[in-house]
Amino acid sequence: MSTPDGITCFHDKKRFPIGPGIVGLIMLALGLAFGQAAVAAEKLKPFVLAYRGPGTLEAKVAEAKEKLSGAGFRIVGEYAPYEDAHVVIFTSDRLLKAVAREKWGGFAAPQRVGVVKVGDEIQVHYVNPIYMAHAYRFKDDLAWLRAQLEQALGAIQDFGARGLTPRKLRKYHYTFGMEYFDDPYELGRFGSYREAVRRVEKGLAEGKAGVTKVYRIDIPGKQETVFGVARRAPSPKMKHMDDKFIMHDTVEVKPELKTVAYLPYEILVTGDRVIALHMRFRMAVFHPDFRMMGKYSFMTLMPSPAAIEKAFKRTLGTEEEEEEF
């Protein structure tokens, strides 16, 4: 028998009426649940193409910097790793406050815009902050930062992979036996945070093994400092640690859309400890569809993870120097 509202519900062998208002609430709850599931299953990509078209590299770099500054971001460094490519590194007070609450948040303090000349066009792209936040296991997904960058620079399309869900990004590793986010290079421990920072500054200034400073960002209220570094091989035999060899000569050979905003690499001082994300994690998470085998593949870069670790340790003086590696 139906209730006056025309709806019957069974519970404990009794019938209770459910009014239209309650039905509406149930439907709303179900809708929200399905909506949240859809968002959770959304696939993210590592880079965002802001815009592309004719022009000169110099003009587009200046334009990107102007747009960033106009949106309240602070430029902390610039890097030209090879011909026809330029990276602008920036941050903001809001971002620094956000990353200060995260473990190893300094890795996300520097955000990056890449400007590349490809044939007759200029491509301007940036790292997707939401993708980065999940890959680095942050509590804050940095969606607000993505919105700010879209407003400042634009967003034609996300690219760089078929896509990964936030869940997969948070436990990402390329394949069996490869490193996770929390398996960094352990570059050294020193007597204090201050001594660790001093040793990194000194080593980068000396340019040992071709590793030099691009920028430095101190995380407020925390004993944490991130350095962006350029890697230029002092000799051909050391090419596997070189930014140009890794990116221009290998990773970017085939893709139409370039990803130079992957650079520069970071060294993080956290307390008395100096670490860097392992290349087998950092390269793979930002290029998850890069081929494992064949020419222009991870196979080409097999010596690079060890070469980068040696270069970084030599920079800090935590590994004995060799003539070459």
Does residue 322 fall inside a structural domain? no
Of 269, 245, 267, 277, nearest to 312 (Cα)? Answer: 267
pLDDT at 42: 87
Using one digit for the tens of pLDDT, what is the confidence trace for 66-122?
999 999 999 999 999 999 999 999 999 999 999 999 999 999 999 999 999 999 999
Q: What is the DSSP string of 213-270?
A: EEEEEEPTTSSEEEEEEEE--SSGGGGGG-HIIIIIIIITSS-SS--GGGPSEEEEEE
If one counts the domains in the chain, the total is: 1
Does residue 36 fall inside a structural domain? no
Does residue 25 fall inside a structural domain? no
pLDDT at 319: 80
Q: Is the preceding omega at residue 236 within 30 degrees of 0, hence cis?
A: no
pLDDT at 21: 52
Spatial distance between the Cα atoms of 184 and 206, rounded to a whole number of angstroms: 24
The CATH number that applies at residue 91 is 3.30.310.70
pTM of the model: 0.86
Contact (Cβ atoms closer than 8 angstroms) between residue 121 and residue 60: no
Residues in the chain: 325
Does residue 303 fall inside a structural domain? yes
Q: Which residues of the chain have pLDDT under 70?
A: 1-41, 320-325
pLDDT at 323: 53
Q: What are phi and psi of 72, to 5 degrees?
A: 95, 5
Does residue 121 fall inside a structural domain? yes
Residue 35 parent element (H or E) = helix 20-40
Does residue 301 fall inside a structural domain? yes
pLDDT at 41: 63
Does residue 137 fall inside a structural domain? yes
Using one digit for the tens of pLDDT, what is the confidence trace for 249-263?
999 999 999 999 999
pLDDT at 292: 87
Contact (Cβ atoms closer than 8 angstroms) between residue 315 and residue 203: yes
How close are the terminal C-alpha atoms of the chain, in Å?
84
Residue listed under structure tokens 């942050």: 138
Does residue 4 fall inside a structural domain? no
Domain membership of residue 201 as a residue range: 47-316
